Chain A
């Protein structure tokens, strides 16, 4: 269905133009990492740990080295003791001294072809001494549990981490006085919720290609969400200066947080340095499952107190996260989950706190929603229970309590653009809520709402005029398939008032692009878009200065005209970008380069309002809002729930490209549906039991309803580019809760553990029949 849209017409913004790279992708000509080759290239492969926790006693690489075609074998002994990590620097390029999860890379090989490399890797003998394992956060935090990182206290941390033994991080935020507030409540509900590990499952597995230039520069291409994070991670864990690594990107076959921090790049670089030849490594699906990263399993205790009339009074949320063997983004996920755990509501009293623990699992990390889908599931399921107990319609109860204009987010950050109320009203109508809720047939419907951030950290843009008056836009932001090259081009074209095809978007390259923290946190449209507007305005200022000379006028009296012209306001006299380009390249001043950089700087915590401990970030982002209704059908014989419909209303500030907003909604829905109903990484005593697509099931076309209804709500973000804010994650955040609530409506079964498998639903149905 075509998204609905209402705003003031703009020249390029607000138009659903096709993606700038659609053609090459549809034709199969776009190049991804697996397709890149370099002359004389070798292939890398790795050996993975067979133990979840073990000391490495010795390596024997002789058999592998003897294989014809093998050029080099590296083990932990070949690596110096350097460490990387976005929050806690606790991870080397390869296991050294000990292994901390089953599947962890312990050695690697470079050979003339992939088959030889893979076969040789299996010939490396490693002697281990097994150590006791900790396979749950509860076990990890028990007194006397085996410790994963004996040197945790000495590791460098980028924030004031509360960390000790297997406690990786503790975070707490509180406002008001929860403990006293319970007395004011007429109804208090408290439950425990549990969520499972989900795999990112990018169609394209992770891979990298590294090559050392004669002068020592390392060229590194990889599947990534940030060429700059790749550069930083590789340099940190290999002890290289950043000026020696040039990180670049081919097309990326999706990233959902899995390609933000390092995967195989450090090993690939190490092999290229050791062999002095280009080396490519592409993970198999199984290796990708076993060694990259996944969504955190959560245990959530959620307690909510309300007045008889439905007014929210207090909420307390306690979280326990499995962090896996390395910190990676875990402290950030815990911090964000804490911040999101009261949802887009006004609670006079609220407290959220939680722990993330090291365990002998694969690292858990960033994944679309960054801890928010888990806490939204708990909170929104509980609000429905409250609505049922009070006999209030779930949408009415939410309308009564969502953040009003001017109210702050939990922690104290001001919220400028807030369309949550309108989102709720829109889905109520589009889903035919009031009628469907009354008819208790086989199907059920459920609502959920959420807010999510878009923002974080630094970004930049360079807008450079070419000799003929066309432009190159360079931001360093990796387009991971979501369409940011297109959106940033539209923003730039709007600011310059020129057609899309006069702008070329440069591919990210740490040698040439301005810094960009990454394609993550729903941030590129919002933060990088702001930098693009700033850079384009800088270019326009210069263009007008030169136009003023040509037009014998004052720059202030000039205006941009559509199609690349500068004219005198109220007069016909004008000059083209072509002429300005020629003039600045060959005669006057110098070629035009506009640039702008920024770092997101709105504070998340207002110390006058809230108390926070162990927060991993200070300035997180602006807020996007969504409401969604899901419809499900329940098979009464098997308990199987199937999705029958979805209605979204999302406040994106301003849709730069409504078609791409819809794409994010459709994709977020499908991924959220998989998370809600089917997907689960299952460990059997430390071993991942389903690291293949044969055994790990995602929804296909038969499981996703054909028509996902989308309403775009636009409450402009004051400092967003043309009012825009992000949409990448919020579309997944609301899904599990709305499905869960729909299952309850359809069957009377309230599930508090994900995924909502046929087994869990059927057990609920049978239990209800008995009682």
Chain B
């Protein structure tokens, strides 16, 4: 990489044009992951397109359809304290506040995290429970992809060469919902061994909304909408919880890595999920 390969555009149109012109180009947001990978010679982009002067990507705003749009360049430290994220949607702030350490949270961006898609990353788990959408710009125009279709496989997303993530779209939270984000890490600030996100709401004794997502235990976040649906309207007793956690554990496909074994993750999933749902119930009862 020479200086000639570094670009500093100010608009989304310019960015996508620069990306389209070179297959080996990469955009650089916070640089937290990309620069580390370049140092380790894991990637050698021919050109770097910096996003730092693209104002459009830095906004958090509510769209006409009521969804919250978080610009791709919004940093983890800002998501962690975003007032716009209320009720169950607060899991996104909780997830942001548990990423790495303050230095990385000051550098890293939500677009970078989603674009990089480390299978142990925190945002994808929370976004999956939220039912968020990823908005993408390219030379062909803009499109939106639901998270469930965006994360594809180990380190693989629906992004195509020349694509730029412009914002992350989050639906309004279910009324009266609460959110729990749990991360088990070896030491504080490490990538997680396993993560769990739960969004839940109840009407009286009956569950009116439930979304459970598990991370770090397979190529992409695990969600089982049908199994969740089966609990709606019920009182979410111990048997119902056991049924759901069993299915999540079965659906998981963890691997042995330097952080923990696959067997341990299988063991953890039911325990972590049951704990998170239990905590959500307590929150809803206590009105917190």
Contact = CB atoms under 8 A, between A and B. Distances in A.
Interface of A: 637-638, 640, 678, 682, 689-690, 694-700, 702-703, 757-759, 762-763, 766
A702 B190 CA distance: 12
Contact of A638 (B187, B263, B268): B268
B260 interface: yes
A757 B268 contact: no
B272 interface: yes
A758 B261 contact: no
A694 B33 CA distance: 11
A766 B271 CA distance: 12
B258 A700 contact: no
B154 to A, nearest CB: 17
Contacts of A762: 264, 267-268
B258 A758 contact: no
A702 B264 contact: no
B62 interface: no
Contact of A678 (B187, B271, B272, B275): B187
Given A758-B260, A759-B260, A698 B187 contact: yes
A350 B186 CA distance: 39
A640 B186 CA distance: 8
A638 B271 contact: yes
A758 B184 contact: yes
B24 to A, nearest CB: 19
A112 to B, nearest CB: 18
Contact of A758 (B189, B190, B264): B264
Interface of B: 36, 184, 186-190, 193, 258-261, 263-264, 267-268, 271-272, 275
Given A689-B258, A758-B260, A759-B261, A640 B184 contact: yes
30 contacts: A637-B272, A637-B275, A638-B184, A638-B268, A638-B271, A678-B187, A682-B258, A689-B258, A690-B258, A695-B258, A695-B259, A696-B258, A697-B186, A697-B190, A698-B187, A699-B187, A700-B189, A702-B188, A703-B187, A703-B188, A757-B186, A757-B260, A758-B260, A759-B263, A759-B267, A762-B264, A762-B268, A763-B264, A763-B267, A766-B267
B187 A637 contact: no
Contacts of A758: 184, 193, 260, 264
Given A638-B271, A689-B258, A690-B258, A700 B187 contact: yes
A766 B267 CA distance: 10
B79 to A, nearest CB: 21
Contacts of B187: 678, 697-700, 702-703
A757 B185 CA distance: 11
A697 B191 CA distance: 10
Contacts of B186: 678, 697, 757
A697 B260 CA distance: 12
B173 to A, nearest CB: 26
A638 B260 contact: no
Contacts of A697: 186-187, 190
Ranked nearest first, the 3 interchain pairs of A and B with the lowest CB-CB distance are: A702-B188, A759-B264, A690-B258
Name, among B189, B190, B193, B258, the residue most crowded by chain A CB atoms within 10 Å (CB to CB): B258
A638 B260 CA distance: 12
Contacts of A703: 187-188
A50 to B, nearest CB: 15
Name, among A638, A700, A703, the residue most crowded by chain B CB atoms within 10 Å (CB to CB): A638
Given A702-B188, A759-B263, 11 more contacts: A637-B271, A638-B271, A678-B187, A689-B258, A696-B258, A699-B187, A700-B187, A758-B184, A762-B267, A762-B268, A763-B267
Contacts of A695: 258-259
B262 to A, nearest CB: 11
Contacts of B190: 697
B35 to A, nearest CB: 13
Contacts of B189: 700, 702
Contacts of A699: 187
Contacts of B275: 637
Contacts of B188: 700, 702-703
A765 B186 CA distance: 18
Contacts of B261: 759
Contacts of A638: 184, 268, 271-272
A637 B193 CA distance: 14
A637 B278 CA distance: 12
A213 to B, nearest CB: 36
Contacts of A759: 260-261, 263-264, 267
A584 to B, nearest CB: 57
B274 to A, nearest CB: 8
Contacts of B36: 694
Contacts of A696: 258
Contacts of B263: 759
Nearest to B187: A697
A685 to B, nearest CB: 13
A758 B264 CA distance: 9
A703 B185 CA distance: 12
B245 to A, nearest CB: 12
Contacts of B268: 638, 762
Nearest to A766: B267
A624 B30 CA distance: 50
Contacts of B264: 758-759, 762-763
A690 to B, nearest CB: 4
A768 to B, nearest CB: 15
A697 B257 CA distance: 13
A696 B36 CA distance: 16
Contacts of A702: 187-189
Contacts of A757: 186, 260
Nearest to A701: B188
